[in-house]
Amino acid sequence: EAQVTQNPRYLITVTGKKLTVTCSQNMNHEYMSWYRQDPGLGLRQIYYSMNVEVTDKGDVPEGYKVSRKEKRNFPLILESPSPNQTSLYFCASSRDSQNQPQHFGDGTRLSIL
Amino acid sequence: GENVEQHPSTLSVQEGDSAVIKCTYSDSASNYFPWYKQELGKRPQLIIDIRSNVGEKKDQRIAVTLNKTAKHFSLHITETQPEDSAVYFCAALDKLIFGAGTRLAVHP
């Protein structure tokens, strides 16, 4: 089954404790991205990647890092999480650009205390 | 930068009525306009999209119209059903920017 898999689905942690949210897709998609969803703000793009070893900032990249060492994986890294990063995070992928339907993962709800 | 405004933020209709959600965008270079539906606790899923060389697109009860001159596009849902209840997001690309969402409630 074609899918985008995120882990963990839920995480409660404390300020400053590094965490990684993994994202993996099995559709051989070149384009992957991360969004955060906050009430009243819709989906805001954090980072995106056009292909392996190619990443770029979205609209709200501060406090986040990503890597794209393999085509299928695109982890989101919070080196020193802060409470304002409490949010619902979605990973998405598409065939080769953002100009195509995005396939979203099930989301990761992060709470930073 | 690109800005996408979506209205209304909430919409309540009776089953069988039509629902219309409107979005405006600021970047005249935008060329792709998808609509996503997000049911409660679920992921966003694409329901329809339109490109800038097309003025209207239909898929069963769902249609999207695009007015490039006015820089706005709309989602039309006819004969609404309770399972249409969800949050709907529009987006505009050159750079993929989402609207804030519309919470649609369809009452039986």
Q: Tell which phi-psi region holds residue B80, choosing left (phi > 0), alpha (psi between -120 and 50) or beta.
A: beta
At A95 the pLDDT is: 94
* Interchain contact, A104 vs B100, CB within 8 Å: no
* Interchain contact, A99 vs B93, CB within 8 Å: yes
What value does the mean pLDDT of chain B take?
A: 94
Residue A34 pairs in a beta bridge with A47, A91
Q: What is the pLDDT of residues A82-106, one digit of tens each?
A: 999 999 999 999 998 888 999 999 9
At A40 the pLDDT is: 87
Of B31, B34, B101, the CB nearest to A101: B34
Residue pairs between chains A and B whose CB atoms are closer than 8 Å: 43
Residue B75 has pLDDT above 70, yes or no: yes
Taking contacts as CB-CB distances below 8 angstroms, the residues of chain B near A44 are 98
- Measured CA to CA in angstroms, residue B27 lies from A62, A77, B98 at distances of 24, 31, 13
d(CA A76, CA A111): 15
Torsion from C-alpha of A108, A92, A103, B39, nearest 10 degrees? 40
At B1 the pLDDT is: 67
Of A42, A45, A90, the CB nearest to B43: A90
DSSP A102: P
Taking contacts as CB-CB distances below 8 angstroms, the residues of chain A near B44 are 43, 90, 102, 104
Quote helix, strand, coil % in chain B, to nearest 5: 5, 55, 40
Q: What is the pLDDT of residues B4-57, one digit of tens each?
A: 999 999 999 999 999 999 999 998 888 999 999 999 999 999 999 999 888 999
* Interchain contact, B6 vs A41, CB within 8 Å: no
